[in-house]
Structure 1
Amino acid sequence: MNGVPRPFRQFYRLFRDRRGVAALELASILPVLAITLMAVIDLGDTIQQNLRLEAAARAGAQYAMFAPSDQAGIQSAELGAVPGWNDITIQPPTTSCVCPGVGAVSCTATTCSVALERYVSIVVTRTFDGLLLTDLTTLQGDMTLRIR
């Protein structure tokens, strides 16, 4: 300290003081950690809700295996798979037919040379309000089932 001019000695002591460095480092990294934690929680919530919507669509598909034309029963099975969720949107199940080798045809078509393949598509959606994932507004679970 002898080589430091007298007016700068106080600044020199302040510059060499290491107290409070850990608090400063914590204050600088804490916002990054908080945002990362919120994003992980948001992503986990999104995945969990999406899995439940897929389970609801699968429950509707399982019911549709035995009663493909019972739309009310299919929707009831979907609602039963997600108890407590009254804000889901259940689209009416749609039926489509495919003639192998030809493609999609009307289900009343008789021009198919082999047996028609009938499919039932089930879609369940729910709005999503995330903390950070604000671009993601709708989650969807869907299932397509071939009826024999």
Structure 2
Amino acid sequence: MKNVDYIKLDYDKLLDEWAEILFKDAEEYEKKRDQASTDSYAYGYFAGKHDGVIQAIAKLSILETRKARKYIKEIVNKEELTMKSKHGITQYRLSFVRRYAQEISEEVAKIEMVYHLSEQSLIDEKVAENYISGYIRSLEEKSKYFKGYIR
């Protein structure tokens, strides 16, 4: 067999590009979900697709964190610490955190808007409670993923 020169892949760059694609997909599904009626099939379909993409990103983050810890243990012995090995930070992780921070901020703004609409009796109090409790559940889930990337 001939000697084959293998291309060395920059896996950090590959992960960053892949994450950007997944984030764009998640945003697209979220927009489509928000355009659909909440009691429609399309709403559930796009909500499921959005959640699936976000779970894929979160699972990748967990795997990356585990591998980074193992890598750090190996490197500490060699005393070759870099920013990534010290803190586990890559552009991929920073992009994820930034997007989740933005989504969390938007959820808080939605809660505030529904609260004020309810206070002014522009929407039914029961409807406002349902929306706010839904947004709070969403915030809890998003903050869980957010914390996973910060640690």
Q: Which of the five TM-score ranges fits, normalised by the shorter chain? A: 0.3 to 0.5
Q: Counting strand residues as a fraction of each chain, which structure ranks higher?
A: 1
Q: Give the structure with higher Rg (CA).
A: 1
